[in-house]
Amino acid sequence: MDYAAFLAIRERSWTEFEQRLDDAQARPRAIGYEDLEFLAVRYRQILHDSGLANARFPGTGAARRLNRLAVLATRLLHQEPRDSSASFLRFWTDTFPRAFRRNLPNTLAAVFLFLVGAAFGFGLAAVQPPIATAVLGPEAVDGLRDGRLWTESLVRSVPPSISSSAIARNNLSVALIGWAGGAIAGIGALYVLFLNGFLLGAVFGVTLHYSLADRLLEFVSAHGPLEITLILVTAAAGLRMGRAVVEASDLPRRDVLKAAARDALVILFGCLPWFIPLGLIEGFLSGSAAVSPGVKAALGLCLLGLFLTTSWNPFLREETQ
């Protein structure tokens, strides 16, 4: 077949396809069954013609036009399948728990690293009390010397609604950065985990030095257990992406990366909503003298239990192959 004959036979079909494609792009919601059937059938023909033009007439206008038509039609007709997690109930009862379970090894590694950081910070603060100034700042250390926790001034000087929103925003940012940082071969997540562990350990070491650890424990008991867990779980989801980037696998790299990113995103979306009630609890309740330490501790444990039950879902059925 020569070029002129190829055009004479096929060009009208391309023009017709192009017009229907333009209409479909202009009004995607108005595409009917007949339009879709027409486009789907002609699309295969366009792909075939494009392959033929590339092989027989490379670089020509027909090859260029057909490739552009094929690219436009592919974008319109080929949509990645909608996630089954789109259903709200299914997400919380199935998709999120499965992703959480698959990521358990990374979560345990995150807990271990956090504990190492905490032990290091605690030990350093115990043997080197001046570390307190570096961690907390001179004003907070002066307060500790006078028997006051720095958290008291925060609660008194700022309305709870403001501190709640600032706390929630800060925690969300830490979780998101830990999650995203995990993608750089896990480095960002490892940094967030170790740093947060170190700071928590050092803060407890310093308050213990000034005999105020029990009051700090009371302050963090309502929000702390879940807040730390959420940061560990989101950073562990980041580690999952980091491992996929560097780890060898039998599967193609792009499939491994996509599966890891999907799980990581599901875990992130399963964790983010919890930061809102946590911010409210930390702003309104943690520093309040009207709530007894026992109630705060019970609330903290209940929240943690609720999150872990949701994440693990003991009623989850085995995945069928």
Partner 1 sequence: MPRGGTLADRDGILPGIAAETVLGLDNAPLTLPVAGVGSRVLAAFLDGLIQGVLQIGWLIACFWPVGFLGSDRTWRYVAYAFGAFLLDWVYFAGLEIAMRGRTPGKKMVGLRVVSRSGGTASAGALAVRNLLRPVDLLVGVLLMALDPLSRRLGDRLAGTLVVHDRAAADEPLLRRIPKGWQAEDVALVESLLRRVRDLEGPRADAMAYRVIERLEREEPSFLDGARGGGDGPVMVLRRAFGIEP
Kindly list the residues in this chain that would bind partner 1 in the complex (CB under 8 A).
2-4, 7-8, 11, 18, 21, 44, 47, 50-51, 54, 56-62, 64-65, 67-72, 74-83, 159, 161-162, 164-166, 169, 172-173, 176-177, 179-181, 183-184, 188, 241, 244-245, 252-254, 257-258, 260-262, 264-265, 268
For partner 1, give the closer residue by CB, 27 or 169. 169
For partner 1, give the closer residue by CB, 216 or 231. 231
Cβ 17 vs Cβ 39: under 8 Å: yes
For partner 1, give the closer residue by CB, 19 or 128. 19
Question: Minimal CA–CA distance to 230: which of 203, 199, 270?
Answer: 270
Smallest distance, Å, CB 236 to partner 1?
Answer: 16
Smallest distance, Å, CB 318 to partner 1?
Answer: 24
Task: Tally Cβ neighbours within 10 Å of residue 207.
Answer: 22
Smallest distance, Å, CB 309 to partner 1?
Answer: 25
Smallest distance, Å, CB 256 to partner 1?
Answer: 10
CA atoms within a 13 Å half-sphere pointing along the CA-CB vector of 3 = 11
For partner 1, give the closer residue by CB, 82 or 317. 82
Question: Minimal CA–CA distance to 50: which of 17, 79, 98?
Answer: 17
Residue 211 backbone zone (phi > 0: left; psi -120 to 50: alpha; other: beta): left
Torsion angle, alpha carbons of 102, 104, 109, 114, to 10:
130
Smallest distance, Å, CB 143 to partner 1?
Answer: 25
For partner 1, give the closer residue by CB, 199 or 261. 261
Smallest distance, Å, CB 44 to partner 1?
Answer: 8
The token pair at 106 is 């990374």
For partner 1, give the closer residue by CB, 10 or 223. 10
Question: What residues contact 185, with CB distance under 8 A and at least 6 apart?
Answer: 242, 245, 246
For partner 1, give the closer residue by CB, 8 or 108. 8
Smallest distance, Å, CB 115 to partner 1?
Answer: 25
Alpha-carbon Rg for the chain in angstroms: 29
For partner 1, give the closer residue by CB, 58 or 130. 58
Question: What residues contact 113, with CB distance under 8 A and at least 6 apart?
Answer: 190, 193, 194, 197
Q: What is the DSSP annotation of 232-246?
A: HHHHHHHHHHHHHHH
Question: Minimal CA–CA distance to 104: which of 239, 257, 196?
Answer: 239
Smallest distance, Å, CB 271 to partner 1?
Answer: 13
Task: Tally Cβ neighbours within 10 Å of residue 113.
Answer: 21
